[in-house]
Amino acid sequence: RAPLAKALPVPSKLSSSSEDLFEQLVPMAVHQALTAYENRKNELVNSEVAKLRDATQLLNSVLASLNLPAALEDSTGQALPKSLVDKATAVQELGGINVINTMLRELPELLTRNREILDETERLLNDEKQSDDQLREQFKDRWNRIPSIKLTETFRSNMQKYRTIIDNATQADRTVRDKYEMHKRGMELLSEGPTVMAASVPHAGGGSVDNNTSSAGRLRALMEQVETMKAERDAIECELKSATVDMKETFLSALHDGNVNEQALSVETLGRAYGPLQQQVKESLGKQEGLLADIQKVNGEFVSERSGQGHAAQRREEVLKELAAAHDAFKELLNNLKEGTKFYNDLTQILLAFQNKVSDFCFARKTEKEELMKDLTRGLGAVAQAVAPNLPQHHGGIGGMTSDMKKEPPPRPPPPSTAPTSAGPPGGLPYPMQPQNMPIPYAAPPQAPYPQYAVPPMPQGYYTLPFPSGGYQPPPQQYPGYPPQYPQYPGYPPQGQQPPQNRQW
């Protein structure tokens, strides 16, 4: 007969996708080593990039103070130098000063948001610690869980690091704003365009200036070297940021050998990958020192050749210097603000993840606290039930109850001692003798545990037998030793008699 199902071999990949979900899964030791390597690499790259940018900033500030290269292009003293026109066009294409103003307004909001997240995280930790300390003070040794101060050491240490980072970022924001205020006027002129800027620059009073001297030619050559060096630095910075090395296989091999020395392996790999670039950065910084010295020397000769100009020419040169410095400040501020915005946004994500961890911790501690409190209160309730408190003395007895307070009827009193109206046999029943032919409804045993009583007589009209000649003797109104009778209501027959049923009203 044919089989109901056919066994198929298990494929190597159950999913049609070519991507393996566990391809990036590595042991914890390798993961930690990769994280440490990435931190080392980022620190190295940021350090080298910062060196290049600081050197370039210094170079631009020196050139701006010397009014270079605008002084070489300003031969007539009337029109704007070409380099300055190009700078104004570049500022307009980047959005002008309005972009700077917008980003400056956003920075305080981003800073406030990060501070609020960090403050809320700190409040959660403080509330959890305060609750734990209060309950520990209340329950003393019975509150036997780990104190919050021990469990939150890492959280509080990271929180202090984040606060330090935010404080440093605040100082950087202050520096950026100070530089903005310093070059605000020049950036506004550059943002207006060449036409408005030309009207704001004063004209030189004298005639044309000869910029074809030997000193001017050497300055032009030095300016070309400056532009070449800037281009080289941009290329070095791109290579520093784009260089990548996969260290996973290296760390896995080291783990297989039994020892993952992250520091030694990382330093060796970073030296091979970034060593040549670090050497280029060092050479560029050394080259800049010699270049600046040559520029200052040749510029002194160039200025001496133009020393015959008047006050108007000097004022024009100062404005051109200010505009050149404003252009450099605009580019620097734009980069700083972009980095600052990205920094605050990235920090927000990090702080939110940190806050989520703290929230999970506080929720777990709250659940643990509630369970422990239930156990403690349940134990207190059991102790309270086991040992009942004594009632006041006037309640007396066992457990505060006396025999007089029990819900039991009192013993019946002894029978009344009344003399019978007719002679009877001695030793009769302890209640009046029944008349002849009177049925006894209950036959009392010889020795009844309780006194027996006769049924009250039936009223006339329903009772067919005559009463005894002596008449019915009612029981006494009060038995000795028995509480007095309840008061009778008006119109109601005395106790022991039935109300008449056939009375005519």
* Domains of the chain: residue spans and CATH: 26-58+233-306 (1.20.120.560), 67-209+309-381 (1.20.140.50)
* Nearest residue to 80 (alpha-carbon basis) of 328, 326, 311, 323: 323
Residue 458 and residue 472: Cα distance in Å, rounded? 12
Compute the CA torsion angle 252, 253, 257, 258 (nearest 10 deg): -20
What's the pLDDT band for 210 if we cut at 50, 70, 90?
Answer: low
What's the pLDDT band for 403 if we cut at 50, 70, 90?
Answer: very low
What's the pLDDT band for 435 if we cut at 50, 70, 90?
Answer: very low
Cis previous bond, 69, omega within 30: yes
What is the per-residue pLDDT for 428? 39
Sequence letter at residue 463: Y
* pLDDT above 50 for 19: yes
Maximum mean pLDDT: which of 371-380, 457-466, 494-503: 371-380
Rounded mean pLDDT, 69-79: 73
Cβ neighbours around 288 below 10 Å, total? 20
For residues 239 and 277, the answer to whether their CB atoms sit within 8 Å is: yes
The CA-to-CA distance between both ends of the chain, in Å, stands at 109
Task: Tell the residue number behind the tokens 């309270």, with chain if given.
Answer: 384
* pLDDT above 50 for 455: no
Is 79 or 226 the better-scoring residue by pLDDT?
226
* pLDDT above 70 for 414: no
What is the per-residue pLDDT for 377? 80
* pLDDT above 90 for 355: yes
Instruction: Give the model confidence (pLDDT) of 143-164 as tens digits.
Output: 888 888 888 999 999 999 999 9
What is the per-residue pLDDT for 67? 81
Residue 55 and residue 457: Cα distance in Å, rounded? 133
CA distances 367 to 128, 337, 358, 364, 375, Å, are 12, 44, 14, 5, 13
C-alpha triplet 176, 179, 184: angle, nearest 5°: 120
What is the per-residue pLDDT for 283? 93
Q: Packing angle between helix 184-192 and helix 96-139, nearest 10 degrees?
A: 130
What is the average pLDDT score of the chain? 77
Interacting residues of 493 by C-beta distance below 8 A, sequence separation 6+:
499
Task: Tell the residue number behind the tokens 């100009």, with chain if given.
Answer: 309
Residue 467 and residue 460: Cα distance in Å, rounded? 10
Q: Which residues pair with 463 in a beta bridge?
A: 460
**How does DSSP classify residue 142?**
G
Sequence letter at residue 296: Q
Tokens of 185: 């006027």
Residue 342 and residue 337: Cα distance in Å, rounded? 8
Greatest CA separation for the chain: 173
* pLDDT above 50 for 505: no
Residue 2 and residue 4: Cα distance in Å, rounded? 7
Residue 282 and residue 246: Cα distance in Å, rounded? 26
Residue 86 and residue 78: Cα distance in Å, rounded? 17
CA distances 421 to 75, 416, 426, 436, 469, Å, are 164, 14, 14, 14, 10
For residues 163 and 351, the answer to whether their CB atoms sit within 8 Å is: no
Alpha-helical segments (H) within 397-497: none
What is the per-residue pLDDT for 445? 46
Coil/strand/helix, residue 14: coil
What is the per-residue pLDDT for 387? 53
Compute the CA torsion angle 265, 267, 268, 270 (nearest 10 deg): 110
Q: What is the 3-state secondary structure (H, E, C) of 336-347?
A: HHHHHHHHHHHH
Residue 156 and residue 325: Cα distance in Å, rounded? 44
What is the per-residue pLDDT for 142? 83
For residues 324 and 70, the answer to whether their CB atoms sit within 8 Å is: yes
Task: Tell the residue number behind the tokens 């199902």, with chain if given.
Answer: 5
For residues 132 and 365, the answer to whether their CB atoms sit within 8 Å is: yes
* pLDDT above 70 for 451: no
Rounded mean pLDDT, 423-449: 43
Q: Of all residues in the chain, what percent carry a pLDDT higher than 90?
A: 34
What's the pLDDT band for 401 if we cut at 50, 70, 90?
Answer: very low
Coil/strand/helix, residue 184: helix
Residue 176 and residue 499: Cα distance in Å, rounded? 114
Residue 146 and residue 184: Cα distance in Å, rounded? 57
Q: What is the 3-state secondary structure (H, E, C) of 47-76?
A: HHHHHHHHHHHHHHHHHHHCCCCHHHHCCC
Residue 451 and residue 433: Cα distance in Å, rounded? 14
Question: 10-19, 25-34, 197-206, 476-485: which range is least confident on average?
Answer: 476-485
* Nearest residue to 220 (alpha-carbon basis) of 6, 439, 372, 63: 63
